[in-house]
Structure 1
């Protein structure tokens, strides 16, 4: 590494040590008003999701390779869908030569930006994805159903 590259690394290190550098990565602060920019930029990374609307309602596709429905808990609080779980990848008494998948617990909060009927939310697993269907409409007590066919 030449001296100029070394100086660039030193400068970058100084920037990372400043509080304002890290403040841009602070966790999502929920508010009663839906903010599209914070919705798309402040979500937790794992599990990765796609959230989209079509004519029936909204669909949330969540990458959960290797996880089963027993590993994941889904709850609904007002307009927020909360997905919690644990991915266990470490195997006891195994000598790893490469370990890129960590054991981790996760919690992801997704604000639902449209009126919906909480009684008709359902989900299923397909090819490493958990798909949650959120039909449009309002009213009723929140119940989340799993399709037993998966």
Structure 2
């Protein structure tokens, strides 16, 4: 610890008293720290999801144990699947002693590998997972664009 304190003092002598403020208060550092901390924020990645693809469809498995289907809304727009809902505590009249699970409203947009067809989309609960099946748009073709 003494070495770290000496290094801090040396850096302040060489770069001035506001050296660390300039480093940690810069907009770039704040943006970096904000995005870095979001990767460890459980709520920003809730609910967790896996995306699978095969020739005719994309399957998204979403972990939402203990949630009723009435408390979940799904929306497909282009190549994005949005899930919104609310996780209700199982014992609302009890006092919480320890809480490790997430409760409350949530919203997440899941990036799909490509634009999907809106017709034929289905969703169902399977073994504690929400399974969303999205037909791939196999008719999508490249379009030539003339340059003027």
Same fold flag (TM > 0.5): yes
**Per-residue deviation at 1:111?**
3.0
Aligned residues: 116
**Per-residue deviation at 1:61?**
0.4
Alignment deviations for residues 50-97 of structure 1 (CA, whole Å, 9 cap, x no partner): 012112211100000101211100112233221111112263331232
SS at match of 1:95: coil
How many angstroms apart in 2 are the aligned matches of 1:45 and 1:93? Answer: 28
SS at match of 1:118: coil
Change (3 A) 1:96 1:16: farther
Change (3 A) 1:23 1:55: same
Partner of 2:107: 107
SS at match of 2:67: coil
Partner of 1:20: 28
Larger radius of gyration: 2
Structure whose residues are more often helix by fraction: 2
How many angstroms apart in 1 are the aligned matches of 2:52 and 2:119? Answer: 19
Structure 2: gaps spanning 5 or more residues: 9-20, 36-43, 140-148
Partner of 1:127: 127
Aligned 1:3-82 pairs, distance under 5 A: 3=1, 19-24=27-32, 25-26=34-35, 44-82=44-82
**Residue 92, structure 1, aligned to residue 92, structure 2:** yes
Q: TM-score, normalised by structure 1?
A: 0.62
How many angstroms apart in 1 are the aligned matches of 2:91 and 2:4? Answer: 40
